[in-house]
Structures are given as C-alpha cells and as structure tokens.
Amino acid sequence: MLIWFSTPPQGLDLAMAVLWPALVGFALAAVAGAIALPLLRRLKVHQHVYEDAPASHQVKAGTPTMGGIIFAIAVLPLALDLQVPMLGEFLILVLGCAAIGAIDDLLGIFRGKNAGLKARTKLLLTAVVALLFLTRLQSSYAEFPRLTLLAIGSWHWTVSYLWWLLLGTLAVTGTIHAVNLTDGLDGLAAGSMVAPLAAFAALGFAHVLPQPALLALLGLGACLAFLIYNRHPAKMFMGDTGSLALGALLAGVAIAEGEMFLLVLVGGIFAAEALSVILQVSFFKATRGKRIFRMSPLHHHFELGGMSELEVTTRFWGISTVLSVLGWWIAK
C-alpha cells in the first residue's frame, strides 16, 4: 500500500491525517495545472463560445480548455494502489468519463466550434461506463452498502439488484451531465463541488466506509487546486474532460456509500441547473416559443437579470455549502 494516498506519514495529528488525501489531491492537481496551462496555450486548445451565450461571455473565447485533464492526472496514480478496495472501479469510472469528455472537447476544437459528440452518443457512452462501474462494484466487494439507495443512521432503504443497477446508472449519467451543464461560469462547477465532496467524505468516515471517503477528499483537493486556474477571470476551463470526470466521481462516491438518493440534496446546485434546462426546453416546445427563464442553465438566468458572474458563482457556492451541510446532518 502506497504511503502517498492511502496511509499518511507517521507523526501527523488526527486532523492532518484525515485531510492527507485532500492535500495529495491538491498538490497533484496544482502541479499538473502549472504544467498543463502553458502546454494547452502552446497547442492552442482554446474554448469556443456558444453563439447564443450572454454577450459578456464572448471575451472568454480563446481561453485554454480541457484543463480538467488535471483531475485525471490526480487520480491516475491510484493505479499503483489497486490493492485498496474500490480504487480500480473508480479509476474505470473517472478516467472512462474523462476520456469521453476529452473526445467531446477535441471534436469541438477541431471543428472550430462548440460542437463535439452528439448528446445521445455522450449519454450512451457514459451509461456504458456507469454500468461497468456498478457491476464490478457490486460483484467484487462486500465493503460497501449493497443495493442501498439511502442510509440515514442505522436505517437503510434497499432495493433489488436490477432496480439498483437501473437507478445507479441514471444517478451516474444524470450527475455527470448536470455537472457538465453547471460548468458555464468561472469557478462555478469546481467550487460548487467542494462542499458535496466534503459532505460525502464526512459521511463515509462516519459510516466506516473509508475508501469512498478518501476518494472524495482526493477530489476535493483537486477541485481547490483547479480554482487557482479557473477562478474569475479564468485562465483555463475544465471542459467536458473535467466536468464529466467530476460528475462521475461525485455520483460514484454517493453510490459506494449507499447514499444515491442523497445526491439530489447534497448536489442540489447541479440538480437545479439540470432541471432548469429540462423545464426550459419542455416549456418552449409546449408553448411554441415561450420561456420560463431568461436563459438556461439557471446561472445564465441570474446573469441576464443583472448579477455579475462573480456574484452568481459565490452565491451558488454558498447554497451548495448549505445543502451539503443539511444532507450530512440528515444522513449522519
């Protein structure tokens, strides 16, 4: 077992020992970002802005994208710790979704516009990765709460294997694409991910499920490091490479802890962003052109209402923190 991730160095106090994976994730992602940023600039891996995006976003054109590769780099060394239960399954999930996102980003870059994989293709590919993760997780280990949708204290809501597999696939794909939709403002997706990962890390330790807790902390540290490069004004965007990987990690941790349904509350910001798009599109089609929101996803609605990008981002971070604390308090 490698000391760098699973086991902190001897002599650390309890708080530092618990936070060790977050420190490792932060260090790996920070170094990876420092290397990736000039490389992406040199290779001209630039962001293309949607034509119908708010006018204030046009200045973002040319900003390096695919910065989410640093999340893949942060988790890649887990391959050296595969004797630790669940790490192999999470590598499949996170790296598989990062690869799908990278293909999507590269297609958009090569085509010279913000158009990568078709939505149905991306949904199908992420569902395949999710199914592979779920089947391996369920069949390989007894350490995680099998077939559990929600655990509150000693109470567990369990279902049959087929229902768990179906709902788990929906949870993973839904979370992945909700995080993808949220990644529309500087620092919004990465910053909104910090509190949910912290909540699931705390629940994992409380329920004696250290593996997903450690993975949540690793991702938390990587998100904080990414904000060095992605805070407003962003020097680098995560692209689908990062948003798909982060969504996969969050959903995977929740499922491994038996808290699949808690995702809706703890990841409430992501759920609200996705719901705003569903409502907007459905209402637009039903009314032949009318809209509920000024623009979707939800963060653009507030932007067009007069709030600055920084105001929207920081308020969403705050809401994410409140929802995460509430979710932790309910399920602890």
Spatial contact of 257 and 204, defined as CB atoms under 8 Å apart: yes
Cis peptide before 196 (omega within 30 of 0): no
Measured between alpha carbons, how far is 109 from 65 in angstroms, rounded to an integer?
A: 9
| 90-123: pLDDT as tens digits | 999 999 999 999 999 999 888 766 667 888 999 9
- The C-alpha atoms of residue 287 and residue 293 are separated, in whole angstroms, by 14
* Mean pLDDT lowest among 39-48, 148-157, 200-209, 303-312: 148-157
Share the mean pLDDT of the chain.
88
Residue 51, pLDDT > 70, answer no
Which range, of 19-28, 77-86, 126-135, 189-198, averages the lowest pLDDT? 77-86
Read off the amino acid at residue 27. Answer: A
Confidence of residue 3 (pLDDT cuts 50, 70, 90): very low
How many alpha carbons lie under 13 Å from residue 237 in its C-beta half-sphere? Answer: 24
Segments making up each domain of the chain, as ranges: 14-263
pLDDT at 2: 46
**184-188, 206-210, 223-227, 297-301: the lowest-pLDDT one:** 206-210
Averaged over 288-294, what is the pLDDT? Answer: 93
For 54-60, what is the mean pLDDT? Answer: 70
Q: Which amino acid is at 94?
A: V
Question: How far, rounded to the nearest angstrom, does the alpha carbon of residue 88 sit from its chain's CA centroid?
Answer: 18
Dist CA 72 CA 68 (whole Å): 7
